[in-house]
Each structure stands twice: as C-alpha cells, then as structure tokens.
Amino acid sequence: MKTSLHRSGRYRHAFVDPDNPWLPAGQDRAWLKWTEPEESADGVKHIFEIVVPTDELSPPEMEPPDADKAKITLVPPAWGNEVVVFSLLTTSACLDATPISPEGARVSDTLVLWPLPNGHRLRIVVSYQDFEPGLRRLVADGHKIAARETAHIARPIPGHPRVCLWDDGGSGVPRIYDLDDRPS
C-alpha cells in the first residue's frame, strides 16, 4: 500500500500490487481518494490519521531484517480504553518547536519532522485517544464486513495479515483503522 500526496491537491491511498488479493479484479488500485484540506487558523493541515486499537495489535509474520529495524520507531500500545492515533500533518517552519496535539488527544508527541520543498514541514504525530463506543462498533462492524466481502479469500493471507477500513470520523479528516485479520 502507498499514500500519494500530489501537488495538484489530489490525495490517495492505493494498493501498489495490482494482483493484491484484497483488490477485486478490474477495480481501481486507489481505495481512498480525497482532496488537500484547508489550512487551519493556526497554520496546520491535517492530512490523514491511522487509528490502531490495542486489541488489534499482532506480532509480525516475520522479523524485519536488521537494516530495516533501524528505521522502525516503536511506540507503546494504548491503554485498555484508548487507541493509538498516528496523524500526518503539514505545518509552517515557524511551528517546528510548537507541540501539536490532535483534538481529543490525552498525550501526543511528534515522531518525525521532515522539510518540504515549499518550506513547510511534514509532521507525524502519535497520540493516545479514547476508544469511544461508536469506534468500537465501527471496528466490530468492519470485521464483519471484511469477512463477508472477502469470504472468497483463504485466510490467513501470507504477507497480508491486516485489514483497513476508513471513514472521516465526522471531521472531514480521512481515518484509516488498522485491524488484525488473522483467525482468532
């Protein structure tokens, strides 16, 4: 999977492999498309979020090579009634030292801050937020829908142990929910 943030303001998440077992034959590889958000009054663009419920964490199918491990940043899992949220934001350079905390976050920290050609910064923020009942229902329903829609695919799928579902949480910011697809 890859995320593309085009200069045109067209953004998308897409499968890289056109033969991905999750992609029905003849369907667009881009499974989520949206347009560049407006900048908030404080100079922040909230691009998208990845939500990871602790109950959905699972060990990797295989350990990554040591060279890849050096590139991985591990974050602690959320507590029982919380989720870990990774937010992708852009900010102006003058905000580099300013802590950015997504709405509803109990704790947040900037993991990465990269310069962009336009002088802005791409920032990945990790935060811990409440695992609200509505989100719990969405996750449970997501598992049912994924099982029904992909019943023709034998489980587990080697190299594809995760399921993603998405919405905008009512905020207009695309949220991707990273869920475990291994048989329980």
First to last CA, the chain: 24
Q: Is 68 within the bounds of a domain?
A: no
What is the domain extent for residue 48? 40-59+78-180
Q: Residue 135 in 3-state DSSP?
A: helix
pLDDT digits (tens, 9 = 90+) for 84-96: 989 998 888 777 7
Is pLDDT at 160 greater than 60 in this prediction? no
pLDDT at position 130: 87
Picking from 52, 21, 57, 35, the residue whose alpha carbon sits closest to that of residue 172 is 35
| CB distance 48 to 88 below 8 Å | yes
pLDDT digits (tens, 9 = 90+) for 112-144: 889 988 888 888 989 898 888 888 888 888 778
Q: Which amino acid is present at 156?
A: P
Question: Mean pLDDT in the chain?
Answer: 79
pLDDT at position 129: 87
Q: Is 16 within the bounds of a domain?
A: no
Q: Is 100 within the bounds of a domain?
A: yes
- Phi first, then psi: what are they for 19, rounded to 5°? -100, 15
Q: Which amino acid is present at 130?
A: D
pLDDT digits (tens, 9 = 90+) for 17-76: 777 766 777 778 887 888 888 888 888 888 988 888 888 877 777 788 888 888 888 888
pTM > 0.85: no
| Pairwise pLDDT comparison (106 vs 67), residue with the higher score | 67
Is pLDDT at 107 greater than 80 in this prediction? no
Q: Is 23 within the bounds of a domain?
A: no
Q: Is 15 within the bounds of a domain?
A: no
Number of domains in the chain: 1
pLDDT at position 94: 78
What's the CA gap between 124 and 71, in Å, rounded?
15
Q: What are the CB-based long-range contacts (under 8 Å, 24+) for 136-139?
A: 138/165, 138/167, 138/177, 139/53, 139/56, 139/165, 139/177, 139/179
Q: Residue 137 in 3-state DSSP?
A: helix
What's the CA gap between 147 and 139, in Å, rounded?
12
Q: Is 14 within the bounds of a domain?
A: no
Backbone torsion region of residue 139, taken as left when φ is above 0, otherwise alpha when ψ lies between -120 and 50, otherwise beta: alpha
